[in-house]
Copies of this chain bind each other. A is one copy, B any other.
Amino acid sequence: MAANRSKPSTPDSEQAFLAAYDASRFPRPSVAVDLVLMTVEEGRLKALLLRRAEHPAKGRWSLPGGFVGIDEPLDAAADRIVHGKAGLSGVFVEQLYTFGSPGRDPRTRVISVAHFALVPAAKLREVLTARTAEPLALAPIRVPWEGEEGGPVEALGPGGDEPLALAFDHAEMLGTAVKRLRGRLSYSPVGYELLPGEFTLRALQTIHEAVLSRKLNKDAFRRRILASGEVEPTGRLEGDVGHRPAELYRYRRPQRPHRRGGRGTS
């Protein structure tokens, strides 16, 4: 095992063990936060990527991220990336998984606490049009597995077919995010985070279908959503659609289900 050399000779002793791992006497890793900013646009699941202009992994595409400040909570770091990098606010952010293989970053030992964020397509698209100077892309995700099997996924280029070269272990991070999102969708009202304030049930269904990569039954979907009580009709109808307009609904937030962590910092 990798840690044997730093292990004391009395491995059964808690005190000796902790003492041997005295934080000030051993090298510490860097800790970063990476963000999987996801949306659904044109019926496809997409994620925000950034082309790396510098080494390491120069020219490859990576998730937005940054190192965690020594006095900064993890969720504050995640919010900082979301705000600073993308100018977004009020989006759903949740901790995802921590990636810590030695060698995942060639510079030094970097442990990255991946987060995922859900943003309505229009909001995320604004970021791209506002920041044309930066090499940003809203890349469609191709998921090579069914259900919640898991594993790395591909991000596709603007053509929509050729996969992009991803930096570090970011294909795995993306895959973990998709897996989590699929799991959430089944029992958690997380689809609304990807929609504007008012939406049609058809739009909500499209979100679900894009995330799950499978068609859903229209009738059963409507019944299930309406029965859940998560949604309430606004009385208004969508307009300009060339056919019968659907009613607009809004999400009834039960008690602000956006869990924005906030363990000690604003």
Residues of A within 8 A of B (CB): 1-3, 6-7, 11-12, 14-15, 17-19, 21, 23-24, 26-31, 50, 52-54, 64, 66-74, 76-77, 79-80, 84-85, 95, 97-104, 107-111, 113, 131, 133-134, 169, 172, 263-265
CB atoms of B98 and A67 under 8 A apart: no
A29 lies within 8 A of B31 (CB): yes
In the bound complex, residues from chain B placing their C-beta under 8 Å from that of A131 are 12
**Nearest chain B CB to A117's CB is how many angstroms away?**
16
14 contacts between A and B (CB under 8 A): A3-B68, A3-B69, A19-B54, A23-B107, A29-B70, A31-B111, A68-B100, A68-B111, A72-B102, A101-B263, A101-B264, A102-B265, A104-B264, A111-B111
A255 to B: closest C-beta gap in Å: 11
- Contact status B28-A66, CB under 8 Å: no
Q: Are the C-beta atoms of A1 and B108 separated by less than 8 Å?
A: no
Residues of B within 8 A of A64 (CB): 14
- B residues in contact with A54, CB < 8 Å: 15, 18-19
